[in-house]
Amino acid sequence: MKKAQQGFTLIELMIVIAIIGILASVALPAYSSYTNKAAFSEIIIATSAVKADIEVCAQRVDTTNANFVTRCIGGGGFGVIDSAASGRVASVASASPGAAQVEITATGDANFTPASPTYIVTGTRNINGQVVWDDSINPGTCLAASLC
């Protein structure tokens, strides 16, 4: 009687290794992209505290569209005190002169691919005091890098 086969042949093992290699070559770039996007969400969330301060200021009775930017950012006394915020938020400034718009810029560090991506969100105050946030007006470099 013949003895039963005791293992895999070399060809079978090479096929398994080739399949694992193909799967890894697809999975690693997808994983890298996923981790970059997940880390960048921290930068987007960092703008929420500044947004809240500006929204509270915009709801004040004595705030109008004409004085919105000067009252709510850069030492106006009722919103964001310092136009150069701390942490991930790099700056808070007027989006366009004469308009009731503010622009918040947040920046990543060198650990991202590409290094130091920016996220810019623009808030426009409506006549009723509501601030509408839009990150598609001037999205920064995060859009081109598929991070936001």
- The answer as to whether 140 is a domain residue is no
Strands (E), the chain: 89-94, 101-107, 118-125, 131-134
Range of the domain at 68: 10-134
- The answer as to whether 50 is a domain residue is yes
- The answer as to whether 18 is a domain residue is yes
71 φψ region: left (φ > 0), alpha (ψ -120 to 50), beta (else): alpha
More confident residue, 122 or 6: 122
- The answer as to whether 148 is a domain residue is no
- The answer as to whether 84 is a domain residue is yes
The total domain count for the chain is 1
- The answer as to whether 146 is a domain residue is no
| DSSP string of 5-27, one letter each residue | P-S--HHHHHHHHHHHHHHHHHH
Please state the separation of Cα 1 from the chain's center in Å. Answer: 69
pTM of the model: 0.73
pLDDT in the model for residue 21: 95
* CA pair distance 74, 82, nearest whole angstrom: 5
**Residue 73: which of 101, 45, 48, 47 has the closest Cα?**
101
Q: What would the pLDDT profile of 47-99 be if each residue is shown by its tens digit? A: 888 898 889 888 888 888 888 888 888 766 676 765 455 677 888 888 777 78
- The answer as to whether 147 is a domain residue is no
- The answer as to whether 105 is a domain residue is yes
pLDDT at 22 over 90: yes
Categorize the per-residue pLDDT at 136 as very low, low, confident or very high, splitting at 50, 70 and 90: confident
